[in-house]
Homo-oligomer: A and B are copies of this chain.
Amino acid sequence: MAVLTILPVEGIPEARPGDDVAALVGDALAAGPGLVDGDVVVVTHKVISKAEGQIVELTDDGPDSHRFLVEQESVRIIRRRGPLVIAQTRHGFICANAGVDRSNAGPARAILLPEDPDRSANRIRTRLAHRFGATIAVVVTDTFGRVWRRGLVDVAIGVAGIAPIDDLRGSTDTYGKVLEVSEVATVDEIAAAADLVMGKATGVPAAVVRGLEWKASSDGIDVLIRPPSEDLFR
């Protein structure tokens, strides 16, 4: 089993609406670790959302205009307590505040999720693969809370080129017994691993996971969303 390295991609400037994320990330990669076959490029959604203009100027910095925006971004409210809203976004993600985020946004501003994170991931992948001549995958991340466990972790909200889930069902354990439930959410583990070098406050919005064996796929992130029929919690 190979050693895995996780490389922060430093020197990516603050993105503005209209910016070309693949160029911003690509320039930083060219000045840093480059890209080689098999690399997975992890990009936090914020740099993408900003470049794609998914920014809302709030009428004020108080809770009301924020709350209004959260309702607007939700297709369904799952739970509500005080200022906390857990909602389903139109992508199908269930998360706090429907992904509306005011940190790292600037004063009286909020950042929304990308309109189609898979599409964003695919664009970045195509451009970077061409520029570096390498077979790569791209994972777009956001930071989610969890039920039952305190603390946030980064998860995948968009993918390009990599199977979101590694389906080991039917393979055998070390005793030759067939594994019963072994769908590993590989891209979520990649997102979490990348966050270890990105952090929340450091302004490093991308990382490269190098040395991982992953399964190529054209699947989108929707395969990671649990269908309501098998979901015990909504």
Write the residues of chain A forming the contact surface with B, with a CB cutoff of 8 angstroms: 1-8, 10, 14, 79, 81, 84, 86, 93-94, 96, 102-107, 145-155, 164-165, 168, 171-175, 177, 179-186, 188-190, 192-193, 195-197, 199-204, 209, 212, 223-226, 231-234
A104 contact set on B, CB distance < 8 A: 173-175, 177
Q: Tell me which of B3, B81, B203 contacts A7 (CB under 8 A).
A: B3
Determine how close the nearest CB of chain B comes to the CB of A61; give it in whole angstroms: 9
B192:A173 contact, CB within 8 angstroms? no
For the complex formed by this chain, how many copies does it contain in all? 2
B177:A103 contact, CB within 8 angstroms? yes
Complex alpha-carbon distance, A5 and B10, angstroms: 17
B81:A232 contact, CB within 8 angstroms? yes
A107 contact set on B, CB distance < 8 A: 175, 177
A175:B106 contact, CB within 8 angstroms? yes
A188:B6 contact, CB within 8 angstroms? no
A224 contact set on B, CB distance < 8 A: 149-151
- 5 additional contacts, CB 8 Å, given A79-B233, A150-B183, A182-B200? A1-B8, A1-B202, A151-B185, A151-B188, A168-B200
Q: What are 20 contact pairs spanning A and B, CB under 8 A? A: A1-B8, A4-B197, A79-B232, A84-B232, A86-B232, A104-B177, A106-B177, A147-B226, A147-B233, A148-B234, A149-B155, A150-B165, A151-B165, A151-B183, A151-B185, A151-B224, A152-B184, A154-B189, A188-B192, A196-B212
